[in-house]
Amino acid sequence: MRNFILRYLLPRLGQYLVVIFLGVTITYIIPRLSPSDPVERQVAEIMVSGAHFGPEAIAHMRDALTDMYGLRGSPIEQYLAFWARMFQGDLGPSLSRFPTPVISLIARALPWTLGLLITAVMISWVIGNILGAYASYYEKSGIMKVIDVASQAVRPIPYYIVAVIFLIVFAYFFPIFPAGGAYPVGRRIEMSIWAVQTILRHSALPALSLVTVGMGAWFIGMKSLTSNIISEDYVVYAEVTGLPQRKILYGYIMPNALLPQVTGLALNLGMIFSGALILEVVFVYPGMGMLTYQAVLANDYSLIMGIAIFSIVGVATAVLILDLIYPLFDPRVRHQ
Amino acid sequence: MPLLSVKNLHAYYRTEAYGISRTVRAVDDVSFELQKNEIYGIAGESSCGKTTLIKVISGSIKPPLRIEGGTMTYTFDGRDVDIASVAPEVMRREIRWKEISYVMQGSMSILNPVRRVRRIFRHVVDTHQGIDDKRKFEALCRDHLKKLGLPPDILQAYPHQLSGGMKQRIAIALATIFRPSLIIADEPTTALDVVVQRGVLQLLKDIQAESSNTVLLVTHDMAVHANVADRVAIMYAGTIVEEGPTEVIFGAPQHPYTQHLIASLPVIGDKGTRSALPGAPPNLASPPSGCRFHPRCPMAKEICRRVVPSMIQLDTLHRAACHLVGEREEA
Ligand SMILES: Nc1ncnc2c1ncn2[C@@H]1O[C@H](COP(=O)(O)OP(=O)(O)OP(=O)(O)O)[C@@H](O)[C@H]1O
Ligand code: SF4
Ligand SMILES: [Mg+2]
């Protein structure tokens, strides 16, 4: 155990912190390379809006903005101040919705995205992998052939097209589900059956689109992984010893074929923090994807930066967790 | 009463790719008998059809391999069983591992890499005997391993923590846990160094001596046969070309191919170079006409090219298929 901590956990944690540090630093530097000065731009925008300010008021505003954007002092001082604010969870104010802090915009959007994407990714991972393994192991089964053809057909269609199709069919032709949004505008979210139902009804179509496409992808991957594992000696041996097929599938084929899929799942979950951009726009879903979209449209680089930082931390954390739990699935990488 | 009687067995791989069909005649007109309580060796160079023959007689045929003719009859406790017509479910429950067990070629990789060794024992025992009691199961495995001289701790190990020799021994332990009538071992020593080889062979011999069952030992390594087998069959290009008691095969081989195999065995103190057989092993998708050995046979005659030599019984236990042998017998 001591060895595990000293020789595995600590170095791995160190690596994790370095990755985040570098990623965040790059996100910090890039917008600063742009020649436009955000303070001047903001001031110009306010002037253009027609309001009239005296030169003193403008100077005062400039001063306040410089502070808020953390643009005071030498580049090094700015950078250190940036990290100091980061540690307090302060990502600065949003430019487009000034002066709302970026962090509170993200805090509002994140639960929607996490709820939708984690559910959809998990469902499609589980079903896609089980079906993929079955389809490859029971090659002759008719249902499996149908599923196979369907996944091959869905595979090349981008998920947002699938989303639009679902939207047209289930929201317009057969108005079973609402066409967009996640919750009635203006209502506070309370803990009630009605609220839960409403949320589920609103996220049904986005989730269905994600699951359809995601499942197809996992299915195809798992099918080819399984067909490789099937010819491995230990599977042939299990057959020769007369083990029942179910045992061979769940005890021998799946645990081996799933190893790369576990890695894939972790990376997928890490990516969740940036949301599903086009999908959220199609369904007017108030998650991280929508937030990104608005940030890009509004040129809100402090918001973009905040989202990017969340994505970096998300992916790095997912990879870290994967590295820590992977030995549970594959004893060969266990630390001696 | 033999344990297994194989008559005129034919088994081919029929494959089709890009509209071209190919037939690999991997087992072509093979007949032999396995007696109870003996170690029977099958020798022959790589890809002559040894593993295919085993797959067929152990009832583990899967496409593209198909039986194209012949019979295989086992006699278990006075009951005749035609292995080709046994229902898969009966095969799985009653014959596999209880009557016929199989140490597969490449036993190094028969263990599931992500599970402890105990798990495969558990599965095999569950399938064929169904011991619910965990302690009874544990005791059964530990006793069995101890009897074979293996440390019971290996149950706790993952395959990658074990040496090749140990994995091979585990394969043998798994194959013998229910004392089957027939243990088939395909190249059990090929990937092992000489010292470990000796241990594995001794283990097989001890098990056979102790339970008086039959061991079918397949290997291209003639030295192994010399040390272990009671009788040896020599295969060439999907057919058996000679069969006899081990002393006869090594002392007075009759078929030119057998003679070549024996002559190329290393002899201590001998510094002369060994004659290598000219030519390559035949392609079983289009084997040579007549005697399949004729393109490489130093004694080939005109007739060899045209006529398939028939099997000549030289002695009660010794037979060979070669025109030369036939002529000598007639004279
Ligand atoms: N699945 C298959 N499909 C087609 N041909 C096959 C298949 N398996 C084996 N063969 C062919 O059948 C022939 C006999 O193969 P087999 O494995 O029985 O030889 P072997 O004597 O066991 O060789 P080795 O000593 O290398 O194990 C070879 O020509 C091989 O290429
Ligand atoms: S039959 Fe002819 S070719 Fe074949 S082994 Fe005998 S002598 Fe050689
Ligand atoms: Mg072989």
Angle between helices A254-271 and A301-329 (to 10 degrees): 160
Residue A57, burial from CB neighbour count under 10 angstroms (0-12, 13-18, 19+):
exposed
| DSSP class of A7 | I
Q: Cβ contacts of residue B263 below 8 Å, gap of 6+?
A: B274, B275
Could you tell me the two tokens for A120? Answer: 């959809």
Q: Name the burial class of residue A146, with classes exposed (0-12), middle (13-18) and buried (19+) by CB atoms within 10 angstroms of its CB.
A: exposed
The alpha carbon of A189 is separated from its chain's Cα centroid by a whole number of angstroms, namely: 23
Residue nearest to atom 28 of ligand 1 (CA): B47
Highest mean pLDDT among A14-18, A53-57, A82-86, B107-111: A14-18
In eight-state DSSP terms, residue B219 is -
Pairwise CB contact (< 8 Å): B96 & A240? yes
Contact B114 A234 (CB under 8 A): no
Model confidence pLDDT, tens digit, residues B123-152: 999 988 877 788 999 999 999 999 888 999
Tell me which residue of B58, B64, B72 sits closest to B24, measured CA to CA.
B64
C-alpha A236/C-alpha A231 separation (Å) is 6
Q: Do B113 and A252 touch (CB under 8 A)?
A: no
Kindly state whether B115 is in contact with chain A, defined as any CB-CB distance less than 8 angstroms: yes
Provide φ and ψ at B21, rounded to 5°: -95, 150
The pLDDT assigned to B272 comes to 58
- At residue A72, the 3 state secondary structure works out as coil
| DSSP code at position A299 | T
Q: Are A283 and A206 in contact (CB under 8 A)?
A: yes
Counting beta carbons within 10 angstroms of the beta carbon of residue A183, is it exposed (0 to 12), middle (13 to 18) or buried (19 or more)?
Answer: middle
pLDDT of B160 above 90: yes
CB-closest option in A240, A244, A256 to B114: A256
d(CA B242, CA B231): 11
Q: Tell me phi and psi for residue A285, to 5 degrees.
A: -95, 125
Please name the residues in contact with A99: beta carbons below 8 A apart, sequence gap of 6 or more. Answer: A68, A93
DSSP structure class, residue B46: T
- Atom number, ligand 1, closest to the C-alpha of residue B45: 25
Question: Looking at the complex, does the CB of residue B121 fall below 8 Å from at least one CB of chain A?
Answer: no
Q: Using alpha carbons, list the distances in angstroms from residue B21 to B53, B259, B270, B289.
A: 22, 36, 48, 20
Mean pLDDT of chain B: 91
Distance from B307 to chain A by nearest Cα, in Å? 39
Q: Is the pLDDT of residue B14 over 90?
A: yes
Relative orientation angle of helices B117-128 and B134-147, to the nearest 10 degrees: 110
For residue B52, which of B41, B64, B40, B34 has the smallest C-alpha distance?
A: B64
Q: Ligand 2 within 6 A of B322 CB?
A: yes
Backbone angles phi, psi at A327, to 5 degrees: -55, -20
Q: Which residue's alpha carbon is at the smallest distance from atom 7 of ligand 2?
A: B300
Q: What is the pTM of this model?
A: 0.84
Q: Which atom of ligand 1 is nearest to the CA of B218?
A: 22
CB neighbours of B176 closer than 8 A, spacing ≥ 6?
B101, B144, B148, B183, B207, B211
Q: What is the mean pLDDT of residues A301-317?
A: 90
Disruptive mutation site among B123, B162, B167 for chain A (greatest number of A CBs within 10 Å):
B123
- pLDDT for position A185: 66
Look up tokens 């004392």; give the residue.
B179
Whole-number Å distance between alpha carbons of B87 and B89: 6
Chain A hits for B111, Cβ within 8 Å: 234
Q: What is the pLDDT of residue B271?
A: 61
pLDDT at A250 over 90: yes
Structure tokens at A243: 């083990």
Please answer whether residues B97 and B180 qualify as being in contact, where contact means their C-beta atoms are separated by less than 8 angstroms.
Answer: yes
Residues B219-261: pLDDT tens digits? 999 999 999 999 999 999 999 999 999 999 999 999 999 999 9
Q: Which residues contact A251 (CB under 8 A, 6 or more apart)?
A: A238, A243, B112, B115, B119, B123
- Ligand 2 touching residue B304 (CB < 6 A): yes
Average of per-residue pLDDT across A264-291: 88
User: Which atom of ligand 1 lies at the shortest distance from residue B235's CA?
Assistant: 21
- Does B64 lie at the interface with A, CB-CB under 8 angstroms? no
Both tokens of residue A200? 């589920």
Tokens at residue B71, please? 């019979």
- Alpha carbon distances (Å) from B48 to B209, B236, B263, B280: 30, 6, 19, 12
Contact criterion met (CB < 8 Å) for A240 and B111:
no
What does the pLDDT read at residue B53?
97
* Domains of chain B and any CATH numbers: 4-111+162-266+282-330 (3.40.50.300)
CB–CB of A241 and B91 under 8 A?
A: no
The reply to whether ipTM tops 0.90 is no
What CA–CA distance (Å, rounded) separates B107 from A328? 25
Q: pLDDT per residue over B24-67, tens digit each?
A: 999 999 999 999 999 999 999 999 999 999 999 999 888 899 99
Domains, chain A, with CATH or none:
35-90 (no CATH), 102-333 (1.10.3720.10)
What percent of chain B is predicted at pLDDT more than 90?
71
